[in-house]
């Protein structure tokens, strides 16, 4: 009987010899019997990921209303219904329901992240049962099963390999390793990182080359993919800075409105001796005036406009609040492959016996040149260089071809890099292959670590070309190719040059040749043992994107050029599954970190959470990281009060993407699990798009702040009209002794809705201000209701109240009716808001320039729309009947216009005072 607990609790299968793993699992190379498989299925269960317990759709929908500002909005809807203003009540209810539906849909999409991981599991598996091959559903696999793998298969469970022939597996989705990794059957150290466990094949990864057999050591939730699924289900999505601030603001606003309404009610009864009924209606009017009904809609629309702008810049937003959160990001944790780099291997150096050549260009496009001592050269003038490139092109199975404007690779990335380098020297793959036809081949294998071809050559000779790991190629060589003649091999020289190139983060690939007789048509093992001439070493790397270098410089605060030196105050950290030397080399070129300091996954595991919190702010490069490492790093940064954006493309990135304040997934090469866990998807997989998104995020926040600074004085002015009317006794008593306010609750609702819809909405379209990327990120703790905001709201509210009530009293003194005086007061309020809209385009900068007044088409259109609405409100008989208004004469309009200009001038003077103080 097998020991279930021993198998389940065994975590380090990679450190166990294959025979010992078989013994622990009670299995053999011939697999299990059918009867044993059935018994084990009862013990271990199916090879499936757990289904997370989720809230029902009704619960999720109702929870969308669990927000203080929404409560205030619902209260406003109830109040307007009590006032029998059914249209306004339905409009307000409609706003809350639309917001709830948006949140409900977005949350439903986010919960698909677990499902997308489940879809990564292989649907079928080839196993040995009763010593016979069987094709079974992957969910029927159990520990102890022997699984057969071949190129193109998806690994169905975590396997300990015991047979392997040239096996290569693409583990990029799991480890972040940018190229397929070679596998073998040997155990490694207990603490070896996930990407270096060569004797293991992990569930959900893809076999790209070769064959193998392995015994199942973990299924379902116990696999590496299962562990990530568990992490993902346990990760809580953080609320955004804006939502936290809105919640605070909602509490503050609710308390302030209720307090003011209550005080006004009691003041009217006790001091003014007004009736309780009139004062209740006045308190209701005050509440209606003070509640910014249009604010949630304006916030949603502003965020939606930000989404559209970002989409045009290749950043697709999945959750609306993420737009604003980008503006407050203090740290960007970026995966290397595909985001900071092109995910296209490129030859950067070629070392021969007497020269170190540089190769420019990036990716598979054959655009670039060769350099020597940083000077451009013609490779045709360097025979040995051409021999190296020609040999690399012939000993190669990759094909680089052009599709429209893009260059595509068919084959292994490393071989594609060699083909591209040869094309840069003017070599043509088809022509060269015809001139030097291949006669035989020994394919690359992970055991041999080399590939060899036999090619027909000139002068009655054929040529064996050997390509592979430098140490394997070198051991078969006795000479090296020099300019004049072949010389004895200088092993120390090649070791030194290899270390020099590798220290730049480049992968090494060596090339050697051997002449044989023209009648030899096949390759044998003895032909590959000795007497080769060493030609050179290629240095190959996945180079950083040029636009990523510029974007990182913008964010970090370094100069891209003399004319462009931005300081956005954002720190960029690289977190990758690649080796530390590669990571440091790329980071140095990007200007990330000091080019020397990096923290590996092994080092990270030894640190406690507290120790990690202390060290993580000072380290910018993290290599050989696992999903748990990435999640710990994000949590550690957030614990230090940072707003973190995390980029990634693999399943291994999904937990950290979900935990980050803004998760950013790759759109072209990203897995579905990463996309579903993210808040934003980069359509072009380019780091530069993140910098663009940060700029748009800051603009969105600026525009939200401008909208709030515009809307609140509107509500404040209306509320103060009610308060001042009662305190100062400004109003009319009718024949029955009832007190009438200068502006009635329905008229207040009209002002709220038309100004919010037509005027405040225009601010959502404001472009980025000139200094948006020159200032540091705002503090995550910055209050939405700042001291400055309170001052501006109070200052403008007082101006509006003076104008509205002043005009109201003046009209009454001239013998106007209550309705006519009220109409003048309403239009005075609206005109003040129109001119204040120009002030609001810039919070501190002056607006009395041509750009400030005429520079926004949406502002001018919104004013034109408002003019039509307000003239209809004033002069159309149906509107006059509904809102008790009367037509104004030209003299009244002149006074209203003069008041609007005065508001504009006074606010501009106030802004000038604040600019001097700043």
Positions annotated as catalytic residues are 335
Helix, coil or strand: residue 529: coil
Classify strands 181-182 and 662-666 as parallel, antiparallel or unpaired. Answer: unpaired
Residue among 721, 713, 791, 800 at smallest CA distance from 756? 713
- Specify which residues 573 forms β-bridges with: 333
Helix, coil or strand: residue 419: helix
- Specify which residues 749 forms β-bridges with: none
DSSP state, residue 218? E
What tokens were used for 194? 């996930």
Rama region for 211: left / alpha / beta (φ>0; ψ in -120 to 50; rest): beta
Please give the backbone phi and psi of residue 225, each rounded to the nearest 5 degrees, phi first.
Answer: -65, -40
Please give the backbone phi and psi of residue 369, each rounded to the nearest 5 degrees, phi first.
Answer: -140, 170
CA 548/CA 685 separation, integer angstroms: 11
What tokens were used for 779? 């503090």
- Specify which residues 23 forms β-bridges with: none
CA 116/CA 118 separation, integer angstroms: 5
Contact 122, 156 (CB under 8 A): yes
CA 55/CA 547 separation, integer angstroms: 43
Classify strands 356-359 and 346-351 as parallel, antiparallel or unpaired. Answer: antiparallel
CA 309/CA 696 separation, integer angstroms: 7
Element (H, E) at 214: strand 206-218
Radius of gyration of the chain (CA): 36
Cα of 632 vs its chain's centroid, Å: 18
What tokens were used for 108? 């439903």
CA 90/CA 68 separation, integer angstroms: 20
Q: Which residues of 745-770 are buried (b: 16+ CB within 10 A; e: fewer)?
A: bbbbbbbbbbbbbbbbbbbbbbeebe
CA 484/CA 383 separation, integer angstroms: 10
CA 862/CA 851 separation, integer angstroms: 17
Residue among 566, 596, 184, 549 at smallest CA distance from 334? 549
In total, the chain counts a number of residues equal to 918
Contact 52, 233 (CB under 8 A): yes
CA 465/CA 456 separation, integer angstroms: 11
Kindly provide the residue ranges of all beta strands, DSSP E only, lying in 389-529, ordered along the sequence.
Answer: 399-403, 406-410, 438-442, 450-456, 461-468, 477-481, 486-488, 507-517
CA 601/CA 582 separation, integer angstroms: 15
What tokens were used for 913? 């005072």
What are the counts of helices (DSSP H) followed by strands (DSSP E) for the chain?
Answer: 33, 30
Helix, coil or strand: residue 826: helix
- Site of tokens 């080796």: 579
CA atoms within 13 A on the CB side of 730: 25
Q: At what angle do helices 687-728 and 295-312 cross, to 10 degrees?
A: 160
Residue among 705, 730, 709 at smallest CA distance from 720? 730
CA 142/CA 45 separation, integer angstroms: 8
Helix, coil or strand: residue 487: strand
């Amino acid at each position: 009987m097998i020991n279930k607990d021993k198998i389940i609790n065994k975590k380090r299968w990679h450190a166990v010899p294959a025979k010992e793993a078989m013994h622990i699992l009670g299995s053999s190379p011939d697999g299990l019997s059918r009867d044993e498989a059935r018994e084990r299925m009862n013990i271990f269960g199916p090879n499936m990921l757990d289904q997370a317990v989720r809230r029902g759709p009704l619960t999720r929908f109702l929870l969308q209303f669990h927000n203080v500002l929404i409560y205030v909005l619902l209260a406003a809807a109830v109040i307007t219904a009590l006032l029998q203003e059914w249209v306004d009540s339905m409009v307000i209810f409609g706003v809350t329901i639309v917001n709830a539906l948006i949140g409900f849909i977005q949350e439903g999409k986010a919960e698909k992240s677990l499902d997308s991981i489940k879809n990564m599991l292989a649907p079928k598996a080839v196993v040995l049962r009763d010593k016979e091959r069987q094709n079974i559903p992957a969910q029927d696999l159990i520990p102890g099963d022997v699984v057969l793998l071949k190129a193109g298969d998806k690994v169905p469970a975590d396997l300990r390999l015991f047979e392997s022939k040239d096996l290569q597996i693409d583990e990029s989705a799991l480890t972040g390793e940018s190229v397929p990794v070679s596998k073998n059957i040997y155990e490694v150290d207990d603490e070896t990182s996930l990407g270096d466990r060569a004797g293991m094949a992990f569930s959900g990864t893809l076999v790209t080359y070769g064959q193998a057999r392995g015994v199942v050591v973990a299924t379902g939730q116990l696999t590496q993919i299962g562990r990530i699924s568990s992490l993902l289900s346990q990760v809580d999505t953080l609320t955004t800075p804006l939502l936290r601030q809105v919640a605070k603001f909602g509490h503050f606003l609710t308390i302030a409105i209720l307090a003011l309404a209550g005080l006004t009610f009691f003041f009217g009864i006790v001091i003014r001796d007004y009736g309780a009924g009139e004062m209740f209606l006045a308190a209701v009017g005050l509440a209606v005036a003070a509640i910014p009904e249009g604010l949630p809609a304006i916030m949603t629309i502003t965020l939606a406009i930000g989404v559209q702008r970002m989409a045009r810049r290749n950043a697709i937003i999945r959750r609306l609040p993420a737009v604003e959160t980008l503006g407050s990001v203090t740290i960007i944790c970026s995966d290397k492959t595909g985001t900071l780099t092109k995910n296209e291997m490129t030859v950067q150096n070629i070392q021969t016996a007497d020269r170190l050549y540089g190769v420019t260009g990036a990716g598979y496009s054959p655009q670039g040149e060769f350099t020597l001592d940083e000077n451009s050269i013609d490779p045709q003038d360097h025979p040995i260089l051409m021999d190296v490139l020609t040999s690399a092109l012939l000993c190669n199975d990759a094909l680089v071809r052009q599709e429209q404007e893009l260059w595509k690779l068919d084959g292994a990335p490393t071989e594609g890099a060699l083909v591209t380098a040869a094309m840069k020297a003017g070599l043509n793959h088809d022509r060269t292959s015809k001139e030097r036809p291949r006669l035989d081949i020994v394919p690359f294998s992970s055991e041999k670590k080399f590939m060899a071809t036999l090619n027909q050559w000139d002068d009655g000779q054929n040529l064996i070309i050997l390509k592979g790991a430098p140490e394997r190629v070198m051991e078969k060589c006795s000479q090296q190719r020099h300019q004049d003649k072949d010389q004895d091999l200088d092993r120390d020289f090649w070791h030194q040059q290899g270390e020099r190139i590798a220290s730049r983060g480049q992968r090494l690939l060596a090339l050697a040749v051997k002449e044989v007789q023209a009648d030899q048509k096949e390759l044998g093992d003895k032909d590959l043992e000795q007497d080769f001439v060493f030609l050179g070493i290629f240095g190959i790397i996945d180079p950083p994107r040029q636009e990523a270098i510029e974007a990182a410089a913008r964010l970090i605060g370094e100069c891209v050029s003399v004319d462009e030196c931005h300081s956005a105050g954002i720190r960029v950290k690289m977190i990758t599954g690649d080796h530390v030397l590669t990571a440091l080399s790329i980071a140095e070129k990007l200007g990330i970190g000091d080019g020397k300091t990096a923290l590996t996954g092994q080092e990270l595991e030894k640190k406690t959470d507290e120790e990690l919190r202390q060290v993580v702010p000072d380290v910018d490069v993290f290599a050989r990281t696992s999903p748990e490492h990435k999640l710990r790093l994000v949590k550690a940064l957030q614990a230090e009060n940072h707003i973190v954006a995390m980029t990634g493309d693999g399943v291994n990135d999904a937990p950290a993407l979900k935990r980050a304040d803004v998760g950013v997934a790759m759109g072209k090469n990203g897995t579905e699990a990463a996309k579903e866990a993210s808040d934003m998807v980069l359509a072009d997989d380019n780091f530069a798009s993140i910098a663009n998104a940060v700029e748009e995020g800051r603009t969105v926040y600026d525009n939200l702040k401008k909208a709030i600074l515009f809307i609140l004085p509107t509500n404040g002015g209306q509320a103060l009209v009610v308060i001042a009317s009662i305190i100062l006794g400004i109003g009319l008593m009718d024949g029955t002794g009832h007190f009438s306010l200068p502006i009635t609750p329905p008229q207040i609702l009209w002002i709220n809705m038309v100004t919010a819809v037509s005027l405040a909405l225009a601010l959502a379209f404001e472009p980025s201000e000139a200094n948006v990327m020159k200032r540091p990120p705002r503090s995550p703790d910055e209050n939405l209701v700042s001291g400055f905001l309170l001052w501006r709201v109070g200052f403008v509210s007082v101006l509006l109240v003076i104008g509205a009530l002043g005009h109201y009293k003046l009209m009454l003194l001239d013998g106007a009716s209550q309705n006519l005086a009220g109409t003048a007061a309403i239009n005075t309020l609206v005109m003040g808001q129109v001119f204040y809209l120009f002030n609001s385009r810039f919070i501190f900068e002056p607006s009395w320039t041509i750009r400030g007044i005429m520079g926004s088409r949406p502002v001018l259109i919104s004013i034109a729309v408002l003019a039509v609405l307000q003239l209809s409100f004033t002069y159309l008989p149906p509107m006059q009947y509904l809102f008790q208004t009367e037509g104004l004469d030209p003299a009244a309009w002149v006074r209203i216009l003069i008041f609007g200009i005065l508001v504009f001038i006074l606010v501009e003077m106030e802004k000038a005072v604040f600019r001097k103080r700043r």
